[in-house]
Structure 1
Amino acid sequence: MKHGAMKLHLTTAENNNLITGYSQSYIEVNKQRHARNLIVMPQQLILDWDVKNFTELTEQHLSKIAEFNSEVVLLGVGEKHQFLHPKIYQSLAVKGIPVECMTTGAACRTYNILMSEGRNVLAALIL
């Protein structure tokens, strides 16, 4: 395992998408590595999320996320914790969908916990 890589363990995913590992260069979902920014939901995986990095995140990126009507959105912002300007996540706020900004590692761990509790969670993850 590379320096900084972490394997995540959970006893059951019940056929839902499970984040099984991550590092600064990949996110592993159901034991398959993806070297790109992506969106993970219990029943859906979106590999073509067109976000380059946190600083280029726009209202349009989050309005697309709002269309999924998740119970909560976890935004993994990379290695360093950062906050979004409220204007950027307004499309989620008006629907009453909370957005939690955290490091990508914390977002992966939190996603697995909420997903295992049966919550309708969406993790938008930036490497």
Structure 2
Amino acid sequence: MKLQPDKSDTQTITAHGPGWVAINNEKIEHSVVVGSRGERFAWDCKSFEDLNSGHFAQFASLGAELVIFGSGVRIRFPQPQWLRPLMALRTGVETMDTAAACRTYNILAGEGRHVLAALLVESPSTGDRSVSG
């Protein structure tokens, strides 16, 4: 799906599809973390089953007010204990499928909020393909 954001000074998710997202028109085919204040790094997880507390603990040091977890092609919730470091800092966490997370990130980043999107990008053969963005 092609996204048409308003002009923004922050990183924008410009498109997404099965097995990829585009950040500022650069196609990325692996899980990624993108932030409204320039944060961007590969996220070392290929599937929801690979996730653990360490994947979420790394966000605590980044100081975002909200972490949007894009859980892949369908919505799946992280285990509550994985979120403890973020909850201790009163950092919000929202979970949605990756397509919805892309759209939500763009809206909040465009409002000037300090937000991170942790996007699980699954290969097209992973998960349930019946959910589309």
What amino acid is aligned across from residue 51 of structure 1 in structure 2?
A: C
Partner of 1:23: 17
Matched position secondary structure for 1:87: helix
Percentage identity across aligned positions? Answer: 35
Partner of 1:91: 85
Partner of 2:124: none
Task: Please state how far the C-alpha of 1:12 moved relative to its aligned partner.
Answer: 1.1
Q: Is the 8 A contact 1:36 1:47 kept in 2?
A: no
Count of paired positions: 121
Of residues 104, 107, 112 in structure 1, which corresponds to 2:106?
112
Q: Is the 8 A contact 2:64 2:114 kept in 1?
A: yes
Q: Is the 8 A contact 2:37 2:114 kept in 1?
A: no
Q: Which runs of 4+ in 1 moved over 3 A?
A: none
- Does residue 8 in structure 1 map to residue 17 in structure 2? no
Which consecutive unaligned segments of at least 5 residues does structure 2 have? 122-133
Of residues 56, 62, 77 in structure 1, which corresponds to 2:71?
77
Task: Please state how far the C-alpha of 1:11 moved relative to its aligned partner.
Answer: 1.4
Partner of 1:52: 46
Which consecutive unaligned segments of at least 5 residues does structure 1 have? 1-5
Q: Equivalents in 1 of 2:45, 2:20: separation in Å?
A: 15
RMSD: 1.0
Partner of 1:63: 57
Q: Is the 8 A contact 1:7 1:22 kept in 2?
A: yes
Which deviates further from its counterpart, 21-30 or 49-58? 49-58
* TM-score, normalised by the number of residues in structure 1: 0.91
